[in-house]
Chains A and B, each alone.
Chain A
Amino acid sequence: MAYATDAVTPLSIWGRGDEGTIEGISGANQLSARLREVGAIPGVPVRMLRVGSTVVIQVGSSRFCLRKTDAACIKGMKAA
């Protein structure tokens, strides 16, 4: 798979429809632990479904909504 850029970016700056893979979750709080438990772990495909103050992301085959500020802890690599 070819990437347009190697840069790993927080999902909070992704646009609607952007897809890629999760590179990691930063932080050691309940939210980051729960995100990992529901499958947001490195290598999992991710897509941005809704942007705004509350965003919707697709992680694997599940969809979750969370605040944009919280989505910043998810780092991903955008696919070309």
Chain B
Amino acid sequence: MAMNIADRERPYVGRATVAVVGNPNTGKTTLFNALTGLSQRVGNFPGVTVERKIGQLTLPNVGAIDLLDLPGTYSLSAKSPDELIAVEVMMGLLESESAIQAVLVVLDASNLRRSLYIVSQLLEIDLPLVVALNMLDVAKARGIVIDAPALSEHLGVPVIPIQANKRVGLDELKEALSQTLKKGTVPPRRSVLPQSWWADAEQLAQKYEGVSTGLVLRVLIDNQNAFASHVVERFGDDFASDLHALRTQVNADDALANREIELRYRWVDEVLDGVLRDPEPLRVTRSDRLDRILTHPLWGSLGFAVIMAFVFQSIFSWAMPLMDGIDALFGMVGGWATGSLPEGALQSMVVDGVIAGVGGVVIFLPQICILFLFIAILEDCGYMARAALLMDRLLTPCGLSGKSFIPLLSSFACAIPGVMATRTINDPKDRIATMLVAPLMSCSARLPVYAIFIGAFIPDRDVWGGIGLQGLTLFALYCTGIFVAIPIAWILKKTLLRGQPTPFLLELPSYKIPDVGTVGMRIYQSGRHFLERAGTLILAATIVMWALAYFPRSETIAAHYEAERERLAGASEEVLDDLRAKEAGDMLKQSFLGRMGQAIEPVVEPLGWDWRIGMAALASFPAREVIVAVLGTIYSLGEVDEESMSLRDALRSATWSDGRKVFNIPVALSIMVFFALCAQCVSTLAVIQRETGAWRWPVLTFVYMTVLAYIGAYVTYRLGMVLGWG
């Protein structure tokens, strides 16, 4: 059966890279996490801006290797941008620095027949292969019997039964990987495809540097898809015409792709002969019974709403003690710094700038972690696909599909992974439309903004059965983004991105208990990312804003207040405090920031904002959570900062020059609505540019969101005042 090839042993050289591939929902990520743990890092493929997730693994007798996690795919015939990445890596088109030396393919034992389809394709790319047979426990519970040694014999590659979630079989898997890398045995080519195709493909491949037989076969069958055009582009016109000639020769048309599938499944059935016993393929599982409720048009939608409301309520109620702890810690550090640094610019920068600013942002770490906890749990247990199913009905009228739901939901954590998650959307127009509305979803960076204003101004009142007004307000703000996204997507799909409604096909994996390691990894990574941002971008913005608010120091004002203090010598502490506050306020007003703020005040006044809020909002365009840091700095500089007054209290007591309070409920709501809608995130705009490869999309996103934010904030403020909430 196997074709004779002289060179079938390729031991690894240097530091080996192993790619992890498999169908979606096979526990591939769980295995990757179990094998690499905290050594994972996310970078780019050399030369191209495609994200790659890599982790380190130490193998017996081999030492450290790199494990590369590729997007889940059902087939090497790529149909979406993320599958395209997986295929290009497998075919050696992306990894230029360290070529892949072996492939670890993860199979779902409870879905073995389907999982083997991609194995039949992987056997044609001439790389050593190791099979991890995952979820045998699930298969067993369903009465499915699999003979793993027989499967290994039929495939000609090692097959290691594992349970990634229970960390079972990992040592055996590492041993197999080590053996495979050392020997570098390329599995025998099975005659899945006609021998004549092989011969022709091989002949063509030999003419071009870097072109393998497997690659030629792939582009021969994948007539006219994105992968084929990439390959043709890369290897030039001669290659294109040779390929065209070969296509004519073998009569390559759409039927060829169907024929491939047919041949592969025939091969899969041969391989499974005597390996798989599944007495009752259409058995009703526990997942099916659960789905009768959870995907029910009425009960399922209600359940979805309840889950979401619970998540948002928990973000507030669970995080409080932790946040108070962090707040106290920064208060202590601030007090210590005030005491140990000499009075002056340095002390002011550390205490009012860095500690008040960064501390104001870091305090929200518990809430971010809780949000990611829920997202990770919902994803890992299999519920997300059900939510996408329910949401398809809502997304279809705006021209999108349920496929857009998962990227949009990820955007509630952060728009950057959300925009990248649109790679699972096959249709390019749907994909761009999803990307453009993704930043409207309330990301975790907005949470600090909402939290500070809700905490300060929305009464902590029980509305109904344990659901508080604060939690409801937060929920309403999250809904604002969604309700605005619907018409925007609809307009985009009717105008710039007009196209046919696209099909929607999504697998519903079996429900499972979420894996603690996978959930923990998500929380750890998002928490670390948040702190890194606070330590870099936010810190830098804070120092710049502090400097703008601190300088220039006016001699005249200082001299004036010095004289006042002398005149009032012996007056009560209260009078002196008041004087100090007035001095700080005057200083702030004539600072660079104060002057700029007064210049823009006419623009933000219709929103009910004073110049401080206006400046803070303006400073937040690079990253929205900067507002909390900037407000912390502004109020810390502009108020009496002897007593460690929390930002919340500072906001409550802020006044206009005529003594009226700056903040009331309509003002707080107006700020929050502005932040809910505004495109205040440079990283997101950059990632949209990167993913679309065009500047017009991030520019359009920025313009439409900022305009909407202004209008939304104005309407909210006016409405709030008319309703008498002021």
Q: Which residues in A have some Cβ–Cβ distance to B below 8 Å?
A: 19, 28-31, 33-39, 41, 45, 47, 49-50, 52-54, 56, 58, 60-67, 70
B239 to chain A, nearest CB (A): 24
Closest to B116 in A: A39
Report the bound CA distance from A64 to B503 in whole Å: 13
Within 8 Å by CB of A45, from B79, B110, B257, B282, lies B282
B518 to chain A, nearest CB (A): 21
Report the bound CA distance from A22 to B402 in whole Å: 25
The interface residues of chain A lying within 8 Å CB-to-CB of B219 are none
Most B-side CB within 10 Å, residue of A19, A29, A35, A66: A66
Closest to A28 in B: B254
Report the bound CA distance from A36 to B261 in whole Å: 7
Given contacts A19-B282, A54-B389, A56-B291, contact A39 B114 (CB under 8 A): yes
The interface residues of chain B lying within 8 Å CB-to-CB of A39 are 113-114, 117, 265
Report the bound CA distance from A53 to B394 in whole Å: 11
Closest to B261 in A: A36
Name B283-311 residues within 8 Å CB distance of A: 287-288, 291, 295, 297
B374 to chain A, nearest CB (A): 23
- Of all A-B residue pairs in the complex, the 6 with the closest CB atoms, nearest first, are A31-B503, A28-B254, A63-B508, A37-B75, A36-B261, A65-B389
The interface residues of chain A lying within 8 Å CB-to-CB of B113 are 39, 60-61
Answer whether residue B111 sits at the interface, using C-beta atoms and an 8 A cutoff.
yes
Closest to A25 in B: B258
The interface residues of chain A lying within 8 Å CB-to-CB of B77 are 33, 37
Report the bound CA distance from A21 to B111 in whole Å: 18
- A-B CB pair tally, cutoff 8 Å: 107
Q: Mark B133-154, 1 if CB is under 8 A from A, else 0.
A: 0000000001010000000000
The interface residues of chain A lying within 8 Å CB-to-CB of B449 are none
Report the bound CA distance from A64 to B281 in whole Å: 15
Closest to B287 in A: A63
Q: Mark B12-28, 1 if CB is under 8 A from A, else 0.
A: 00000000000000000
The interface residues of chain B lying within 8 Å CB-to-CB of A47 are 282
12 contacts between A and B (CB under 8 A): A29-B503, A33-B79, A38-B74, A41-B261, A52-B393, A60-B111, A62-B114, A63-B288, A64-B508, A65-B295, A67-B396, A70-B503
Within 8 Å by CB of A38, from B114, B287, B291, B392, lies B114
Name B28-85 residues within 8 Å CB distance of A: 74-75, 77, 79
Within 8 Å by CB of A54, from B258, B262, B392, lies B392
Is A33 within 8 A of B261, CB to CB? yes
A80 to chain B, nearest CB (A): 14
Is B114 within 8 A of A56, CB to CB? no
The interface residues of chain A lying within 8 Å CB-to-CB of B288 are 49, 58, 63
Within 8 Å by CB of B389, from A34, A41, A56, A61, lies A56
Within 8 Å by CB of B385, from A33, A45, A61, A65, lies A65
Name B255-271 residues within 8 Å CB distance of A: 257-258, 261-262, 265
User: Do most interface residues of chain A lie in helix, strand or loop, or is the interface mixed?
Assistant: mixed
Is B281 within 8 A of A61, CB to CB? yes
Is B426 within 8 A of A38, CB to CB? no
Answer whether residue B504 sits at the interface, using C-beta atoms and an 8 A cutoff.
yes
Is B117 within 8 A of A37, CB to CB? yes
Closest to A42 in B: B262
Within 8 Å by CB of B79, from A30, A54, A65, A67, lies A30
Given contacts A39-B113, A56-B389, A60-B281, contact A70 B507 (CB under 8 A): no
The interface residues of chain A lying within 8 Å CB-to-CB of B142 are 61
Is B295 within 8 A of A50, CB to CB? yes
Answer whether residue B278 sits at the interface, using C-beta atoms and an 8 A cutoff.
yes
The interface residues of chain A lying within 8 Å CB-to-CB of B295 are 50, 56, 65
Is A61 within 8 A of B111, CB to CB? yes
A53 to chain B, nearest CB (A): 6
Answer whether residue B2 sits at the interface, using C-beta atoms and an 8 A cutoff.
no
Answer whether residue B506 sits at the interface, using C-beta atoms and an 8 A cutoff.
yes
The interface residues of chain A lying within 8 Å CB-to-CB of B291 are 49-50, 56, 63
Is B117 within 8 A of A62, CB to CB? no
The interface residues of chain B lying within 8 Å CB-to-CB of A34 are 74-75, 79, 505
Report the bound CA distance from A64 to B507 in whole Å: 4
Report the bound CA distance from A35 to B63 in whole Å: 41
Closest to B426 in A: A30
Is B504 within 8 A of A54, CB to CB? yes
A1 to chain B, nearest CB (A): 12
Is B79 within 8 A of A70, CB to CB? no
Report the bound CA distance from A37 to B507 in whole Å: 13
Q: Mark B504-521, 1 if CB is under 8 A from A, else 0.
A: 111110000000000000
A16 to chain B, nearest CB (A): 9
Report the bound CA distance from A9 to B288 in whole Å: 24
The interface residues of chain B lying within 8 Å CB-to-CB of A63 are 287-288, 291, 507-508
The interface residues of chain A lying within 8 Å CB-to-CB of B262 are 41
Closest to A39 in B: B114
Closest to B118 in A: A37
Report the bound CA distance from A62 to B75 in whole Å: 15
Report the bound CA distance from A47 to B281 in whole Å: 10
A31 to chain B, nearest CB (A): 4
Within 8 Å by CB of B392, from A28, A41, A65, lies A65
Within 8 Å by CB of B110, from A53, A61, A66, lies A61
B183 to chain A, nearest CB (A): 31
Is B111 within 8 A of A35, CB to CB? no
Is A36 within 8 A of B258, CB to CB? yes
The interface residues of chain B lying within 8 Å CB-to-CB of A58 are 282, 288
The interface residues of chain A lying within 8 Å CB-to-CB of B507 are 38, 62-64
Closest to B23 in A: A38
The interface residues of chain B lying within 8 Å CB-to-CB of A19 are 282
The interface residues of chain A lying within 8 Å CB-to-CB of B505 are 31, 34-35, 64-66, 70
Report the bound CA distance from A61 to B507 in whole Å: 11
The interface residues of chain A lying within 8 Å CB-to-CB of B254 are 28
Q: Mark B564-581, 1 if CB is under 8 A from A, else 0.
A: 000000000000000000
The interface residues of chain B lying within 8 Å CB-to-CB of A67 are 392, 396, 401, 503-504
Report the bound CA distance from A37 to B75 in whole Å: 7
The interface residues of chain B lying within 8 Å CB-to-CB of A54 are 389, 392-393, 402, 504
Closest to A63 in B: B508
Report the bound CA distance from A37 to B388 in whole Å: 22
Q: Mark B84-122, 1 if CB is under 8 A from A, else 0.
A: 000000000000000000000000001101100100000
B445 to chain A, nearest CB (A): 32
The interface residues of chain B lying within 8 Å CB-to-CB of A49 are 288, 291
Report the bound CA distance from A30 to B258 in whole Å: 11
Report the bound CA distance from A31 to B388 in whole Å: 18
Name B365-380 residues within 8 Å CB distance of A: none
Is A53 within 8 A of B396, CB to CB? yes
Closest to B25 in A: A62
